[in-house]
Structure 1
Amino acid sequence: MKDLNLLFTFEALWRDHSVSIAAENLGVTQGAVSSSLKRLRQEYGDKLFAMVGRRMEPTPFAVQIAPTLLDALDLVREAQTRALEFAPQHCRKVFTLRTRDIGEAVCLPTILKLLQAEAPLCRITTVASPVEETLSGLSIGRIDLAIGYLPTLKTDIHRTVVSSQQYVCALRTGHPLADVELTLERFLRQQHLLVETGGTGHVLLERALIEAGARNNIGLRIPQYLSAPYLLLESDMLWVVPAVLGKTLSRHFPLLLKPVPLVLPEFDIALYWHDRFHRDPQNKWFREMVATALRQSLQD
């Protein structure tokens, strides 16, 4: 039997003698139970359960195989119970996070604090893999979690949103527009700095600038975020940046933040992990710890 969920369906029908009650106890729809029963019947070549009055009763063949299947399910549960004994304070794993430099600057300090408190023997490595390599890395366990705005990361991937963000416009103090309202006309006349982030949802930002008429005013394209403030300080360029990064950098650089005079959608910062590790207690603990850290750092 390739799908362990079929074992749970068999057990529920054996115990409850009802498709509807089995579905309720399993937390699924009646259709899902019926579909699983159909697969079980195809696999074993037997009806397994049949209506007798108002109850689903096992066939003689189902009675014959039930002890073996139910014992197997007990072994699965025992293995899960042992896995749940994961103790972070004794873990020595090196966890790998996929994040850009924006995540390292904004989120990694809080992640490290929580990691030190809960699992002091663990370590973290970060990578900035392209989306295709991120997907393969997550699937084979080379990457434990991915952080960011990665709407194209979908195949066999789970995600949890930790924050919704918006964009702001960053410029240096002393900029000619520092003390005036940043109107759309003024915004479009300026030269813009653009961080190119292929494979992320931030490509929408470049599209919005081009559609607004600023195609020829993208004065500089760079592949990373953290060199941008140094470039702003030596120029009159504007930089449309995720608000959380703008706030973080303005604590350390003489930068001003203004509302962007373009209609830009909010975007979600999320955690992503592969379905293979969805039930893994080590991964589950790590992603819950990282999610807590991200919610703290992204709300500051």
Structure 2
Amino acid sequence: MKDLNLLYVFEALWCDRSVTAAAERLGLTQAAISSALKRLRDQEGDKMFTLVSRRMEPTPYASAIAQQLLDALTMIRKTSAEKSVFDPASSRRMFTVRTRDIGEIVNLPPLMEKLQEEAPHIKLRTVFVPMDETLGGLASGRIDFALGFLPSLEAGIHRRKLMQQHYVCVMRKQHPLAESELTLERFREQEHLLVEYSGSGHKVLEKALIEAGARHQIKVRLPQYLSAPHFVISSDLLWCAPAVLAETLATHFALTIKPIPFQLPGFEIGLYWHDRYHRDPANKWLREFIVNVQATRP
């Protein structure tokens, strides 16, 4: 591929599968991306990407050469990384973060507030995909960072700790136990809400409930956090949740937070990125920015 600009366009389309998203990623117009795609097709003698159910999917030929092209671009970035300068004040890049709704609630609003001051044109997009897709996305650049409690992310992945956390028990303020000590016996007698997802480290909660004798007291199971407080405030359900999430939600919902009456291991919320982008100036700037924003939180 003779034109380096076409290589960047190929990467953006490969990562985002969308002309619109690719344009946002590169800070170009959709017309410019479409024009570049036409030149790419003419140069390679292949359609490269075709529209399938509103997604620009790669052709077999594009898929066959994708790894070579992406590796070549990685080598170019590594060669020029120390010479290149990322200007956050003028950048219009869109960064993609893999996180659950807990990360969207707890981590991203303060981050966006600070970004507005120092990098007002940068955009964020969140995705939530299974672990295998997360690893593939980080490796290919479709995902810039993963954020959360993700102990299963290992090979080729860098990590920075953002915060240390523990679990608490959440109930509505009018709960019969709201003004009482939450003993283990009382805990196991109550009905519980459990937010579950096999790809995260929070799977430990279900095991803990079972070991505490509340196996048959799990009344509601949910795949995400944001709906949980709506169940809690309208019932006598107990909900074991990360403390930072409970404290954040308690500013918006009538919730009471109590210690869990047995030992649970603490855990770390981390920021994860792939080794291929470890020296990328934009990636490096934003991850340091995220770490600093988290460090200054009250």
Calculate the TM-score normalised by the size of structure 1: 0.72
Question: Secondary structure of 1:82's partner?
Answer: coil
Q: Which residue in the other structure is 1:91 paired with?
A: 91
Q: Which residue in the other structure is 1:151 paired with?
A: 151
Deviation at 1:78, TM superposition (A): 7.8
Question: Secondary structure of 1:202's partner?
Answer: helix
May I ask how many residue pairs the two structures share in their alignment?
223
Q: Which residue in the other structure is 1:290 paired with?
A: 290
Confirm or deny: 8 A CA contact 1:169 1:259 kept in the other structure. Answer: yes
Distance 1:76 1:123 in 2: 22
Q: Which residue in the other structure is 1:54 paired with?
A: none
Q: Would you say 1:240 and 2:228 are equivalent positions?
A: no
Q: Would you say 1:101 and 2:101 are equivalent positions?
A: yes
Unaligned residue ranges in structure 1 (runs of 5+): 1-74
Kindly provide the amino acid, as one letter, of the partner of residue 178 in structure 2. Answer: A
- For residues 1-300 of structure 1, what are the structure 2 equivalents within 5 Å? 79-83=80-84, 85-297=85-297, 300=298
Confirm or deny: 8 A CA contact 1:193 1:238 kept in the other structure. Answer: yes
Distance 2:154 2:293 in 1: 24
Unaligned residue ranges in structure 2 (runs of 5+): 1-75
Confirm or deny: 8 A CA contact 1:165 1:244 kept in the other structure. Answer: yes
Distance 2:136 2:171 in 1: 38
Confirm or deny: 8 A CA contact 1:110 1:296 kept in the other structure. Answer: no
1:84-112 CA-to-partner distances (Å, cap 9, x unmatched) read x2111121111001111111111111110
Confirm or deny: 8 A CA contact 1:107 1:293 kept in the other structure. Answer: no
Question: Secondary structure of 1:245's partner?
Answer: helix
Deviation at 1:208, TM superposition (A): 0.9
1:47-104 CA-to-partner distances (Å, cap 9, x unmatched) read xxxxxxxxxxxxxxxxxxxxxxxxxxxx999834422x21111211110011111111
**Rg larger for:** 1
Calculate the TM-score normalised by the size of structure 2: 0.72
1:104-132 CA-to-partner distances (Å, cap 9, x unmatched) read 11111111012111211111100111111
Distance 2:77 2:191 in 1: 61
Question: Secondary structure of 1:194's partner?
Answer: strand
Kindly provide the amino acid, as one letter, of the partner of residue 136 in structure 1. Answer: G
Confirm or deny: 8 A CA contact 2:78 2:280 kept in the other structure. Answer: no
Confirm or deny: 8 A CA contact 1:92 1:121 kept in the other structure. Answer: yes
Question: Secondary structure of 1:181's partner?
Answer: coil
Cα distance, 1:177–1:278 mapped onto 2, change above 3 Å: same
Distance 1:163 1:242 in 2: 11
Question: Secondary structure of 1:88's partner?
Answer: coil
Deviation at 1:167, TM superposition (A): 0.5
Kindly provide the amino acid, as one letter, of the partner of residue 251 in structure 1. Answer: T
Cα distance, 1:162–1:186 mapped onto 2, change above 3 Å: same
Deviation at 1:158, TM superposition (A): 0.4
Deviation at 1:294, TM superposition (A): 2.8
- After TM superposition, the runs of 4+ consecutive aligned structure 1 residues lying more than 6 A away are 75-78
Kindly provide the amino acid, as one letter, of the partner of residue 253 in structure 1. Answer: F
Distance 1:197 1:78 in 2: 40
Cα distance, 1:143–1:188 mapped onto 2, change above 3 Å: same
1:211-238 CA-to-partner distances (Å, cap 9, x unmatched) read 1211100010001101111101111000
Distance 1:116 1:139 in 2: 28
Kindly provide the amino acid, as one letter, of the partner of residue 167 in structure 1. Answer: Y
Q: Which residue in the other structure is 2:38 paired with?
A: none
Confirm or deny: 8 A CA contact 1:192 1:219 kept in the other structure. Answer: yes
Kindly provide the amino acid, as one letter, of the partner of residue 102 in structure 2. Answer: I
